[in-house]
Amino acid sequence: MIAVSGHIVVNGRFLQRPVTGVERFATEILRAIDQLISAGELPPHLFSLVAPVGTQPKAQFKHIPLREVGRHQGHVWEQIDLPLFCKGQFLLSLCNTAPAFKHNQSVVIHDAAVFSVPQAYGPAFKLVYRVMHNLLARKARQILTVSEFSRQELLRVLPIRNKPVQVLREGAEHVLRGRVDDSIQQRAGLTGRPYVLAVSSAQANKNFGFVAQTLAAQGDPGFDLVVAGGTNPAIFASDGVPMPAFIKHVGYVSDAELSSLYRHAACFVFPSLYEGFGIPPLEAMAHGCPVVASSAASIPEVCGDAAVYFDPRDGQSFLNALNSVMTDPSLQGRLKAQALAKSREWTWLGAARTLLSALPMHAGSSHE
């Protein structure tokens, strides 16, 4: 049995937000902990989940009860109601934010993006997160993160003194858990020729405009670029010129539809300039989809030898990497095999075990 004692309260504020990378991390870590309790590797009643009143969680856990507390919502709930409720108890916060003045807690800060790529955020968001992360670095009992790249970044920008920053793991098996909805292929008009897949975001550091504009400048490449996610399609146009027909923006898709897109893509492109971890290429690899990825930040740490890399600021570097994959069947086959093997190294059960081993042995025993 894994040696963690005391009771651990989990900050459930993330349950109110749409599922992006950090919310996925929290949900899947707790799902894996739930499995470990079911398997007898952890004692029951070790964890509880606390969230604001009115929370409608998208995930349920058999052994981690949810309790709704407090009178506020959002950041106010997290800074006032949550620390009052768990005073004297150990708190685990998995999604970048936590009560700024609570000592007896572990906090997962996924990256230092608000310091390193400030142009990706609005002024208010940037200010709140910079102040909070500085306070947490000084006050919290333990800071954790999700890659060696992020660990070095946090040590560079935050006043973390005499606190080893533990690197956790992430996983991708969640994308193989559910059904596959192939109807997205017909609805998006993807039945005629090969396509390259990108999973996008509106943040500037995700760099998706670079991909579309680089391809558009070459004329029709002979395949489609399918962009899934919340990005404004306008970023894929240059100087007011409409997107060419081969760029298909399908918007938000369900997990079942996304699984279909990964399975049928000729390859997956990930052009990000800055990532604390980067789950999408790992999801692609879990489906055996060849990955063409940026050489920046944590991405090579995650993908290893299972990707072809390019300089995310150099259009020719990107075209060379993409064309090498799209025109070489033997390279495609090798990348598929390496992708499947690499994805098996990253599991949520492994991530949960790493987290549990990193927590203070007697998590609930420290005083505020």
How confident is the model over 24-76, as pLDDT tens digits? 999 999 999 999 999 999 999 899 999 999 999 888 999 999 999 999 999 99
> Which domain does 59 fall in, by range?
8-173+348-358
| Per-residue pLDDT at 202 | 66
Together in a domain, 80 and 136: yes
Together in a domain, 138 and 285: no
Show the low-confidence residues of the chain (pLDDT under 50): none
Closest CA to 137 of 109, 111, 169, 114: 109
| Residue 363 covered by a domain | no
Together in a domain, 215 and 337: yes
| CATH number of 190's domain | 3.40.50.2000
| Per-residue pLDDT at 311 | 98
Together in a domain, 315 and 245: yes
Q: What's the CA angle centered on 327, arms 325 and 329, to 5 degrees?
A: 75
Count of domains in the chain? Answer: 2
Together in a domain, 202 and 311: yes
User: Residues for the chain: how many in total?
Assistant: 368
Cα–Cα distance for residue pair 52/296, rounded to 1 Å? 37
Cα–Cα distance for residue pair 256/258, rounded to 1 Å? 5
| Residue 152 covered by a domain | yes
Together in a domain, 50 and 89: yes
**Both structure tokens of 174:** 């969640």
| Residue 3 covered by a domain | no
pTM for this entry: 0.93
Euclidean distance between the first and final Cα of the chain, in Å? Answer: 28
| Residue 298 covered by a domain | yes
| Residue 291 covered by a domain | yes
Together in a domain, 28 and 168: yes
